[in-house]
Structure 1
């Protein structure tokens, strides 16, 4: 792993907190260039134990604003011709029963989880192609099935799966690779900044279960970037279970999901 990262150019979206900040910390020990993108780019700090040859470039971006994405692409350093690894990490969650979800929640969720990232990747695609680079998307097990209470979130992440799979096949001959990493519940502030059914900030506490740490997820994302042909990567039994049960016994899966999330709405 160590030699792979030397002198690479890496882009991280959502780099100011959570998994994105953990990626920045994990990668900062290598002599490489990191373009760290976030709405609050000024809050992105150089990790304490950084390599002396690490180059950190901060770019502010709001994935819900197409003009902000265009500005971010225009601010990308002209001297950097290629992107070796693009960590498509930024995202937002949304909770609520389908019948209660305001359409604005769908729009905002898709803007952050689908339209914004797609526009950004298209804007930087020539650089990704130049380096025969790879796109590693932080996804969720909720993208593998329409999870009850997560319609907007599941749908936006599933749409990203389809787009990245299409891109991977289309650009296969040009050496561009794409991997989707479905992570389980992780100790981040995602629920604090997510959306409720009415469009207001969710501000929920973490799920009451064993959580992965952002550092664990960051290391898996980095490991995935090293692999030659990763496609769909799951991190624990929850992802493995959903991946297989949707084909083997969807009716049983739906009963299990209904029972598991029933308490959220009753």
Structure 2
């Protein structure tokens, strides 16, 4: 990490109470910076195990699915900081279920948290990011790169967010704002126990099979991306790069792979 980049910076992190957001907070707590940490249960955000003596922490309660809660958070932040150097747009929710079984409520809840809430929040803080010529770094997923079976609502919400933020990146070239999308692989987080099933009930699924990244490993990549204003779409590993490329070169072959790999996630029971 570039120490001089983070010294005296103002950093905003959504979804900071657990998983990747918490790991980001703990990694950056070692620097003399000012951090604004947002979560639905901001009071649950603990003190970091190690921190710089000049670290300043603000905990802000914010439910991205609630427009009034997002607006309250925007106003609170705008009154207390003059600029934002890095905005980690990290919070999100997953939803699992077949296209024909997902209720409209699940689509609405998923988009509220993954699209409308982040868009409102970023729009509200954009003047502060522009003031610092800062960077917006979004924690995304390879599921945003193609419609993944059994993940229609999740893929659609993240894909929509990609399109909106790519527009923002181009529109903000003169303002010097960086906009990066990071498609993280399977990670050890509570995503599969805090998401929604097709009826809108709480998911309770085992972690994804295969090798998974730790939240700390993902946080370290997000931090490096934040230091590079030229970063755009970032994928971690071969599976992410494979999907990124095959969606253009051979979507038919890609769909066969997804069908076979995820069949148990969407087969009719």
Q: TM-score, normalised by structure 1?
A: 0.99
Contact persistence 2:135–2:229 (CA under 8 A):
no
Question: Which whole-Å CA distance do the structure 2 matches of 1:161 and 1:199 have between them?
Answer: 24
Does residue 81 (structure 1) correspond to residue 77 (structure 2)? The answer is no
The CA deviation string for residues 90-118 of structure 1, in whole angstroms up to 9 with x for no partner, is: 00000000000000000000000000000
4+ long deviations beyond 2 Å: none
Question: Which whole-Å CA distance do the structure 2 matches of 1:105 and 1:228 have between them?
Answer: 35
Contiguous gaps of at least 5 residues in structure 1: none
Aligned pair count reads 266
Q: Secondary structure at the match of 2:35?
A: strand
CA displacement at 1:209 relative to structure 2:
1.2
CA displacement at 1:76 relative to structure 2:
1.2
CA displacement at 1:265 relative to structure 2:
3.4
In structure 2, what is the equivalent of residue 72 of structure 1? 73
Question: Which whole-Å CA distance do the structure 1 matches of 2:12 and 2:102 have between them?
Answer: 33
Q: Secondary structure at the match of 2:170?
A: helix
Contact persistence 1:136–1:181 (CA under 8 A):
yes
CA displacement at 1:78 relative to structure 2:
2.0
In structure 2, what is the equivalent of residue 104 of structure 1? 105
In structure 2, what is the equivalent of residue 32 of structure 1? 33
Question: Which whole-Å CA distance do the structure 1 matches of 2:57 and 2:258 have between them?
Answer: 42
- Aligned pairs for 1:148-167 (under 5 A) are 148-167=149-168
In structure 2, what is the equivalent of residue 94 of structure 1? 95
Contact persistence 1:148–1:258 (CA under 8 A):
yes
Decide which moves more: 71-80 or 251-260. Answer: 71-80
Q: CA RMSD in A?
A: 0.8
- Aligned pairs for 1:168-247 (under 5 A) are 168-247=169-248
Does residue 21 (structure 1) correspond to residue 14 (structure 2)? The answer is no
The CA deviation string for residues 29-87 of structure 1, in whole angstroms up to 9 with x for no partner, is: 00000000000000011202100000000000001100011111121152411100000
Q: Secondary structure at the match of 1:246?
A: helix
Question: Which whole-Å CA distance do the structure 1 matches of 2:229 and 2:68 have between them?
Answer: 34
Question: Which whole-Å CA distance do the structure 2 matches of 1:241 and 1:46 have between them?
Answer: 39
Contiguous gaps of at least 5 residues in structure 2: none
In structure 1, what is the equivalent of residue 7 of structure 2? 6
In structure 2, what is the equivalent of residue 55 of structure 1? 56
Question: Which whole-Å CA distance do the structure 2 matches of 1:264 and 1:111 have between them?
Answer: 24
Q: Secondary structure at the match of 1:98?
A: coil
In structure 2, what is the equivalent of residue 126 of structure 1? 127
In structure 2, what is the equivalent of residue 135 of structure 1? 136
Q: Secondary structure at the match of 1:113?
A: helix
Q: TM-score, normalised by structure 2?
A: 0.97
CA displacement at 1:204 relative to structure 2:
1.1
